[in-house]
Amino acid sequence: MTLWLMNLSDSATSRVCLVIGCLVIVAAHSSWAKRHPGFLKVLIPASFCLYLILAFGFNINGELAGAVGRDPTLTDRTTIWSSLLNMRTNPVVGTGYESFWLGPRLQPIWQVFGPLNESHNGYLEVYLNLGLIGVFLLVGLLIISYRNVCRQFTSSPTLATLNIALWTIMLFYNMTEQRSSTI
């Protein structure tokens, strides 16, 4: 039923995240990963950092979107991101919690993109609302939560495998879909 509903929703991001989550679970349950648990703990954050370098340094997002049958601009999300980054906000503290999408700054956005009220990138949303302080706090939260998940491998390996898969999915999903309030 879940696969049927996912197919019905036609969400490429959800499909990619399902594949990523399944790969993490399979990798965590492999005999090699059980013998070398430290490698898996380093591989996941390193893979995300590599993805960020490839996505922003070499524009691989367009290639990946094309590979899953989608628009290389991620349905104009990359255009939205560029426009939002070009708006004048305070880079240190942002515009204030959940206040970027309020007031007169919406007029130029709506003229170009229509009635838009989110950036479709949770990390960008945090930056716009809370600035670099918010981004650093979010990165700190991600690091602490990852350390807690990694500690679970000694006490509850099955739960840790599920948690590390969910943590990984959240990292990637939040790049193209969600607002910051769901983090």
- The predicted-structure confidence for 19-45, as pLDDT tens digits, reads as follows 999 999 999 988 888 888 788 889 889
Look at residues 127, 135, 120 and name the one whose alpha carbon lies nearest to residue 78: 120
Listed residue (77, 76, 116) closest to 100, CA to CA: 116
pLDDT for 163 beyond 80: yes
**Cα–Cα distance measured from residue 80 to residue 74, given in angstroms and rounded to the nearest whole number:** 10
Percent of the chain at pLDDT > 90 equals 28
Higher pLDDT, 167 or 7: 167
Q: What is the pLDDT of residue 131?
A: 95
| Domain spans in the chain, listed from the N-terminal domain onward | 11-182
Start-to-end Cα distance in the chain: 26
**Range of lowest pLDDT (2-6, 44-48, 58-62, 151-155):** 58-62
Burial tier of 76 (Cβ tally within 10 Å: 0-12, 13-18, 19+): middle
pLDDT of residue 119: 85
Q: Looking at per-residue confidence, does 55 or 32 come out higher?
A: 32
Residue 167 pLDDT grade (very low, low, confident, very high; cuts 50, 70, 90): very high
In 84-94, which positions are buried (b, 16+ CB within 10 angstroms) versus exposed (e)?
A: beeeebeeeeb
Q: What is the pTM of this model?
A: 0.81
Place of tokens 């990359």: 78
Model pLDDT for residues 108-157, shown as the tens digit of each residue: 888 888 888 888 888 999 999 999 999 999 999 999 999 999 999 888 88
Burial status of residue 174 (CB atoms within 10 A of its CB: 0-12, 13-18, 19 or more): buried
Tell me what the pLDDT averaged over the chain comes to. Answer: 84
Query: What is the Cα–Cα distance from 117 to 70, expressed in whole angstroms?
Result: 22
Please check whether residue 76 is in contact with residue 63, taking contact to mean a CB–CB distance below 8 angstroms.
Answer: no
